Structure formats: structure tokens, C-alpha cells
Amino acid sequence: MMVKIASERRIDNKEMRDAYIEKLIELAKKDERIVVLDADLMHSNNTYKFKEIFPDRGINVGVQEANMIGLAGGLSATGKIPFAHTFTCFAARRDLDQVYISAAYAKLNVKIVATDPGIAATYNGGTHMSFGDMGIMREIPTMTIVEPTDSVMMEALVEQIAYTYGPFYVRVFRKKPIRIYEEGSIFKIGKGIILKNGKDVTVIATGIMVSEALEAAEILENIGISTRIVNIFTLKPIDKEIIVKCAKETGAIVTAENHNFINGLGSAVAEVVVENAPVPMERVGVQDQFGEVGDIEYLKKKFHLTAEDIVESVKRVLKRK
Amino acid sequence: MLTDVEVTELERFANQIRIETLKELGHLGFGHIGGAMSIIELLAVLYGKVMRVDPKNPKWKDRDWLVISKGHSGPSLYATLALKGFFPKDWLYTLNRGGTNLPSHCDRNLTPGVDMSTGALGQGISTGMGIAMGLKMDKKKNYVYIIIGDGESQEGQVWEAALFGGNANLDNLIVFVDYNRQQLDGYVDNINSLGDLSKKWEEFGWHTQEVDGHNVNDIYTAIQMAKQVKNRSHVIILHTIKGKGCNFAEGVELNHHMHFTEEQVANAIKELEKKFPEKAGDPA
């Protein structure tokens, strides 16, 4: 894996949804098997761009997420590679049984691309805020779960997602996140990335929490705490090797995720740590709460998803080291 | 229209499927007997006369597909597939035993000739429709047949699929509703009635027919009629009797899943065998 890390953190120059759909369109021009389904969110997910080019392979099923997943399963049975789109809340909470049976249990090649994870649902509020989606998907055998970090990673992963057989849950912040990687970076599903070295503690982050973790590392360096930052973007199968290595080398771990601290990244990392290299851990994430409306800065503070929250967790974990 | 000889052949085939299904379930001593029995004339018509399948090549690209959305009716499909030679008949005695290829609910990854994994009610109609769409995209001529239950029709997903299918005009698709008017807890009309089912499907935009689901000629004719109507999705509502032809299940209110003795099964089989006596059975 060859990644180049952006020298300064700034807003991405491309929306993740565009990085995604443009790459998928590029693949679909060469591969007729690629089909897009959306449940009346084509103008939220920008999948309408696919439908404009491939009207017969871009299907808006209307507001019926359960039927959409079933259709995707059937399409896969005939050899198609269906990508089904909706918000994370509906993909996980509403469609669990369809994803479980009609996609995963049936061993079909269904790709679920779910947008607006966690607090990214902002003004849609509590009904649309998915703090449990990774946990729900994590308990489905054979499911691969990826949460691309920025537009560079998003674009780079589309081809691997399309051509790795089996069900995928892709958790996408659809607008412009903080850009972490430079163009030309190469990523491998299932492999975490050390973004910054450090020896006192490791912060393992996913999604929008990666930039918060990098910011936290700067604050911590200023008070003499050497902090390693790791981006785990594949929640399942999780990169055990990098977790064990970091636990052994730094002796303490903090996880950070835009998700309930139950059943998400923190839990997945803890499972590996306790079985392989027990060290003190803290989990930064939503504290088992429902969502609410607000802008993203308000929500970050409300649900303790800021760089400062990571700093505090690091201080706490180091006291137990 | 079928000839009298063809009708007799299909009725005999249906009777054989019924006997094999009873042996299969009887060996275990319990199972989803009611809904297995009510779709047997349909299975006989599909596998005896209508569907293009190759038992030696179950994944044949030009085959017709069947999705039994009411996945608990697997046992009568397995009997049919065994009689057609998809797998040895003695597999039927492994039904639901640990490690079997024949689980109570249909599984596309275990049983040769089973096209979709079903059992969570409401889902097979969507997956079947996805198959029909995929075949259309490839401009293939294969047909897709889906069997749903009436109790299953209480699921919301069935009506999501019905709305979508009514607009998608999938003329390579025929959905059959096994309208036997009974579900696990009793009579559909007493629990959550489907009302005027035919009118509902018509309103959802489907080319809709209603026939006697135990009359092989009527079923066959309805399928042929459906195939004449282009650019519409098709549904055929089959008026059936839950437990049909099995003397200890037919007419019993709670016959969705039953326990039965060897004697009951032997007696039921004996009665069925009388309908088509071994040697005198061939029409002169």
C-alpha cells in the first residue's frame, strides 16, 4: 500500500459522491454488468448522473428500500453487479433482513452504498441519524464494511469494491470531508494505514474522525505526548495485524468513530486487543444516544466527536497505562 | 388447451409429486405440509409442461427460473426436482437432517435446481423480479416464475414489489399467488383478510388472472394466456386448498405445520396410489 498524505489538512476539492459515481460510470462504460439502483435519493447521492448515461442500467425504484435490496439480489443472480443506494439509516435499520437473506445468506454480489453516516445527516436529524449501522452490518457473516476517508480514497476503492465478489456495505460521507490523502495513493481493502508515527499511544480512527485525530495529535505533541495515528477504513474484515502491532508498540489505544461507541470500530478493535495484546483502551464515539438536528460543528461537540474529546481520552488512557 | 392425454399425464405427475412429498415429510415426521400440498398441480404443470430446464445442468443459462417466495414449500419442490432427475430420489429422506442439501426453506446454494434462497416472507418476489430485470437487460428470452403465499401477501414488501412490477412491465415474469386462504394461525380472512385480491393486483397494474389452482388445464391455459400479453407483468391467482390431497391435512384449520405418524402417512399415500393404479394407469 502506497499512500501519500496531504501536507496540510483542508477541505476536499471534490465531493465524495462525485468521486464515487464518476469512477463507477468509468467502470460501467467498460462493463455492462454494473447496475445502479436508488430509492428516490438519486439527487442526494448523485446517482442520477449514472442514470443519464445508462438509462437502462440506472433504476430509481422509488421509496422502497426493502424491494430495492431484493431486486439487487436477483440482478446479481443473473450475473449483474448491482450497487444499491440509500441513506445509512435505511440501509441498515430498515433493510437488515433483506441484506441478511436476499444478499448475504444467498451469497449474492450486492454492493450497498449508504450515505450520510452518523452526524453527517445534520439537518435531517434523529430519524435519519445512523449511529448503529456499522454494528448492524458487522454481525452479518461475509459482509465487507468500508468507510472511505476522502475523495481520493473513495475513487481508489470503487474498482476493488466492484470486483471483489460478495456483499459490501460502503459508508459514505457524501459531501466534502477534510482531505487526508494525495492523488495517486493506493489503498487495499482490509489494510489499515499509519498516518503518523508515535510511541506513547495509538489513535485509531475512521471516517470524519481521521482529521480530528490528526488535529488531536498536534495538540498532544505540544504537551509532549507522542501519538500514533492509524486510519482503519475497513471495519470488516478488520486489520488485526496493525492493531496488535500498535498495541504492542505504543501500549495504549484510543478509537474514534462517527458512530455509537457500541458495536462499531471501538468494539471491533477492543475484540482484537483483548484477545491478542491487552492494553488500556478508550473509545471516542456517540455514547449510546439518539441523534438530533444541527450543523456538523454543533453535532460534533454535542456527541463528543472533536479533537479535544480525543485529547481527553488519550490523557485518560495514559493514566491507566 | 391441453389434450386429455396431457391432462392425465400432468395429473399423474402431480400425484407422484404428492406421494414423494409425503414420503419425504413422513420420514421426518413433521413439516410444512399444508402449503407444500397446495402448489403441487402448479409444480406439475411448470416442470411437466412449461419450464425449460436441464436436470443435468441446473445452472443452464437459457433455463427458466423459479423462485418459491413462500420458501417453506421447499419439500414439494424437492420432490418435483428429484422426480425430474436433478438429484437422486434418496436425497428426499435427508430433508432437514444435519448436513442435508434439502433444508426446510429453499436455498440456492445447497439444492440443484433451486434458483433463489427464500424463507423470509416477502423477499422472493423482489429477488425474482430482479432476476427478470437482469434477463431483460441481457435481452434473454428465459421466463421467471415466482410463487408467493396468501399469508405472505400480508407482508409490506410484497406490495412494494407489486407496485414496482406493475410499472416495470416485466412480460418475462409470472407471479403465482397460492390463495389457499389459510396461514399458520388459521384462516386468512379471520386474521388479516386480503380483500379483493384480484382487484388489488389489477389496480397495481398487473395483467391478472384467477384460476382453479388444482386444475392443470386451467393453470396451463392461464400461463399461455399470460405469454400472449406483452409489456405487462403477470399474476395468476390460484384458488387452492391448503393440504390438498393429503387426507390428514386437508380440511384441518391448523395444517401449516403439522406432526404426523407413520400410519397417517402410509394411509394418505395408499389413498393417493389408488388414483393412478400402477398398471391400469395408462390411458387406453
Chain A CA closest to residue B131: A74
How far apart are the C-alpha atoms of A21 and A161, rounded to whole Å? 13
Nearest residue to A53 via CA among A74, A77, A34: A34
Contacts of B128 in chain A (CB under 8 A): 74
Domains and CATH numbers, chain A: 14-179 (3.40.50.970), 193-316 (3.40.50.920)
Contact criterion met (CB < 8 Å) for B109 and A106: yes
Q: How far is B217 from chain A (nearest CA, A)?
A: 30
Best of A34, A35, A71, A76 to disrupt the B interface (most B CBs within 10 Å) is A71
What integer pLDDT is reported at residue A1 of this predicted model? 63
- Which residues in chain A land under pLDDT 70? 1
Kindly state whether A274 is in contact with chain B, defined as any CB-CB distance less than 8 angstroms. Answer: no
Chain B CA closest to residue A35: B134
What integer pLDDT is reported at residue B190 of this predicted model? 98
Burial B66-86 (b: 16+ CB within 10 A, else e): bbbbbbbbbbbbbbbbbbbeb
Contact criterion met (CB < 8 Å) for B132 and A35: no
Say which of B127, B157, B164 has its CB closest to residue A73: B127
Nearest residue to B161 via CA among B119, B122, B118: B122
Contacts of A59 in chain B (CB under 8 A): 133
- Kindly report, residue by residue over B147-192, the tens digit of the pLDDT: 999 999 999 999 999 999 999 999 999 999 999 999 999 999 999 9
Taking the model in full, what pTM does it have?
0.96
ipTM above 0.90, yes or no: yes
What integer pLDDT is reported at residue B282 of this predicted model? 46
Q: Are B225 and B236 spatial neighbours (Cβ–Cβ below 8 Å)? A: no
- Kindly report, residue by residue over B200-254, the tens digit of the pLDDT: 999 999 999 999 999 999 999 999 999 999 999 999 999 999 999 999 999 999 9
Looking at residue A222, what DSSP letter applies? Answer: H
User: Which contiguous run of DSSP H or E holds residue A235?
Assistant: strand A234-236
| Displacement of CA A288 from its chain's centroid (Å) | 19
CATH number, domain B4-279: 3.40.50.970
Best of A51, A59, A78 to disrupt the B interface (most B CBs within 10 Å) is A78
Residue A147 exposure: Cα atoms within 13 Å on the Cβ side: 29
What integer pLDDT is reported at residue A171 of this predicted model? 98
Contacts of A107 in chain B (CB under 8 A): 108-109
Whether residue B283 has pLDDT greater than 90: no
- Kindly report, residue by residue over B18-43, the tens digit of the pLDDT: 999 999 999 999 999 999 999 999 99
Instruction: Please report, for residues A243, A274, A280, B118, the alpha-carbon distance to residue A203 in angstroms, rounded to integers and kept in the order given.
Output: 10, 16, 12, 43
What integer pLDDT is reported at residue B284 of this predicted model? 37
- Kindly report, residue by residue over A100-154, the tens digit of the pLDDT: 999 999 999 999 999 999 999 999 999 999 999 999 999 999 999 999 999 999 9
Helices B123-137 and A65-77 cross at an angle (nearest 10°) of 50
Nearest residue to A67 via CA among B202, B146, B127, B115: B127
Best of B59, B61, B108, B160 to disrupt the A interface (most A CBs within 10 Å) is B160
Say which of B123, B135, B138 has its CB closest to residue A70: B123
What integer pLDDT is reported at residue B200 of this predicted model? 98
CB interface of B with A, residues 91-150, below 8 Å: 108-109, 115-120, 122-135, 137-138
Whether residue B47 has pLDDT greater than 70: yes
Nearest residue to B32 via CA among B68, B64, B56: B68
What integer pLDDT is reported at residue B278 of this predicted model? 66
Whether residue B8 has pLDDT greater than 60: yes
Label residue B279 by pLDDT band (50, 70, 90): low
Label residue B277 by pLDDT band (50, 70, 90): confident
Say which of A64, A74, A107 has its CB closest to residue B127: A74
> Residue B56 CB: number of other CB atoms within 10 A?
9
Contacts of A34 in chain B (CB under 8 A): none
Kindly state whether A77 is in contact with chain B, defined as any CB-CB distance less than 8 angstroms. Answer: yes
Contacts of A82 in chain B (CB under 8 A): 130
